[in-house]
A = this chain, B = another copy of it.
Amino acid sequence: MAASSLLRSLTRHARRGYAGTGAFSHHHHQQQPWSPFSTSAAAAAAARDGAAGRGLPGLGPTAKGEKARVVVLGTGWAGSRLMKDLDTRGYDVVCVAPRNHMVFTPLLASTCVGTLEFRSVAEPLARIQPAVSKSPGSYFLLARCTGVDPDAHTIDCETVTDGEKGALEPWKFKVAYDKLVFACGAEASTFGIHGVTEHAIFLREVHHAQEIRRRLLLNLMLSDVPGISEEEKRRLLHCVVVGGGPTGVEFSGELSDFILRDVKKRYSHVKDYINVTLIEANEILSSFDVRLRQYATNQLVKSGVRFVQGIVKDVQPNKLILDNGEEVPFGLLVWSTGVGASRFVKSLPFPKSPGGRIGVDEWLRVPSVQDVYAIGDCSGFLESTGKDVLPALAQVAERQGKFLASLLNHVMKAGGGHANSETEADLGPPFVYKHLGSMATVGRYKALVDLRQSKESRGISLAGFVSFFIWRSAYLTRVISWRNRFYVAINWLTTLLFGRDISRI
């Protein structure tokens, strides 16, 4: 049979497929109606129990014979760890989040300058918890939660499409839960300073790192264009980091290393114009041991980072203004002054912890309602627990996710998996946080590891190559999948062998 006649017969076949609104249906007539989704199923469920009663489609409540449904809001350290450990023999997992992957935030700064690839620090949820793509009742839903009805045990959601052309309009739906876990994180703090959101870049998501990288490479190239003034060249290549916490320090370290190793070689025309300034109102790495702080400062100064102690008052397109009136022109501004409660968290009708986070008891439950929990940066101990709100650290979030997974698995095995059926059974010991130490890198082969359990206590503090090695190993084993562990190792190896990649794609 010649290709052309084969093509014609295929063509006829395909054309039939398009006729009328039943397009493709001849290929799928064997299929079952799609359950438990679809408006009709949801409407039936809504009619039955009023869960999706406001006319929205959605996932209706589970029946007693079915698996109970844990709805998790967020794919950060807390939510991902929780979902990884949930026992999917007894629970369906439904994750509602605006991104389908977890980000290895401690390695994010390395991707901005090309030490690591973006994809190496992003772990798809489907690899962390395969049930969301395989199990009939488990889903990942690319959506934002917009409200919660604790009495009806439902949440309101809206799809996230980033305004992509040809995509659906934001689509509203409801999801009924047996257990609801807030793991939706915090927002970058701007302290209400004008212009931060418009002109600075945060460093919390992969797309932030991509933006920083594109900007940095663009400015390096623009400063090479004939006729750009000396002043403008210095501005374009002035990278300013606001905030001297671990993120700001690590990013400054990576950046100065990039400048020393790669820019000097690959952008030799402009190498003398590039500078990094770190602005901090108080001290850098204020939670670290004083000797480590000093070591970090020395290392960063040695690699060319300049420190400015000051408070930013205003941010304009190409410069920022300090509280003493000084103007600091910049080509790239990275803002990493910590995080605070998000607008969504503030809008929730639950008692809050000091600092405005969702208040939880010692078992991470939201005590005013049934079957609701909160973990990670969005949650904090209620004042009534007598415990301090824990710092917004990956370490805390990950430990809370792990704790809550085992608590929920325990509850499920005790017969309390479904809504409003939580037995008064023993929940086991409450959540206790034990700090395992803090780490920060300050450029190539240099890291700080602070193993003290609190600011006041004494303990081992390390700096230099040994801590670099500990740091890298610690993170390699935290990176969840073997695929990404492998890629991180390969990325580090190629950076060592070939230098960093500078294509601006």
A209 to chain B, nearest CB (A): 9
Contact assessment for B119 and A501 in the assembled complex, using a CB-CB cutoff below 8 Å: yes
Residue interface bits A129-170, CB-to-B below 8 A is 1, else 0: 000011010011111000000000000000101101111100
Answer yes or no: A4 CB below 8 A from chain B CBs. yes
Answer yes or no: A371 CB below 8 A from chain B CBs. no
A230 to chain B, nearest CB (A): 7
In the complex with contacts A37-B227, A140-B221, A331-B166, A234-B24 CB distance below 8 A: yes
In the complex with contacts A134-B268, A309-B11, A225-B503 CB distance below 8 A: no
| Among candidates B21, B225, B283, residue contacting A143 with C-beta atoms closer than 8 Å | B225
Contact assessment for A123 and B58 in the assembled complex, using a CB-CB cutoff below 8 Å: no
Contact assessment for A8 and B309 in the assembled complex, using a CB-CB cutoff below 8 Å: yes
Q: Which of A66-74, A185-193, A212-220, A341-349 contacts B (4 or more CB under 8 A)?
A: A212-220
Answer yes or no: A328 CB below 8 A from chain B CBs. yes
Contact assessment for A171 and B215 in the assembled complex, using a CB-CB cutoff below 8 Å: no
Contact assessment for A502 and B210 in the assembled complex, using a CB-CB cutoff below 8 Å: no
Contacts A58-B227, A164-B218 given; 13 further ones with Cβ under 8 A?
Answer: A1-B294, A2-B294, A6-B297, A15-B326, A18-B326, A100-B504, A101-B504, A119-B503, A124-B503, A136-B269, A141-B225, A165-B317, A482-B498
20 pairs, CB–CB < 8 Å, chain A vs chain B: A6-B297, A11-B309, A11-B310, A14-B277, A14-B308, A19-B326, A23-B234, A23-B329, A39-B227, A101-B503, A117-B119, A133-B265, A134-B265, A164-B218, A166-B199, A166-B331, A168-B222, A482-B498, A483-B501, A487-B494
Within 8 A of B (CB), among A408-430: none
Within 8 A of B (CB), among A255-271: 265-269
Contact assessment for B218 and A503 in the assembled complex, using a CB-CB cutoff below 8 Å: no
In the complex with contacts A8-B309, A14-B307, A38-B227, A159-B222 CB distance below 8 A: yes
**Which 5 pairs show the lowest CB-CB distances between chains A and B?**
A57-B227, A101-B503, A3-B294, A142-B221, A206-B505
Cβ of A307: which chain B residues have Cβ within 8 Å of it? Answer: 7, 10-11, 14
Answer yes or no: A99 CB below 8 A from chain B CBs. yes
Contact assessment for A308 and B222 in the assembled complex, using a CB-CB cutoff below 8 Å: no
- Output the nearest chain B residue to A221 by Cβ-Cβ distance: B142
Which residues of A come within 8 Å of B, CB atoms?
1-4, 6-8, 10-11, 13-15, 17-19, 21, 23-24, 27-28, 31, 34, 37-39, 42, 56-59, 99-101, 117-119, 122-124, 126, 133-134, 136, 139-143, 159, 161-162, 164-168, 171, 173-175, 198-199, 206-207, 210, 214-215, 217-219, 221-222, 224-232, 234, 236, 238, 265-269, 272-273, 275, 277, 283-284, 290, 293-294, 296-298, 301, 306-310, 317-318, 326-329, 331-333, 481-483, 486-487, 490, 494, 497-498, 501-505
A328 to chain B, nearest CB (A): 6
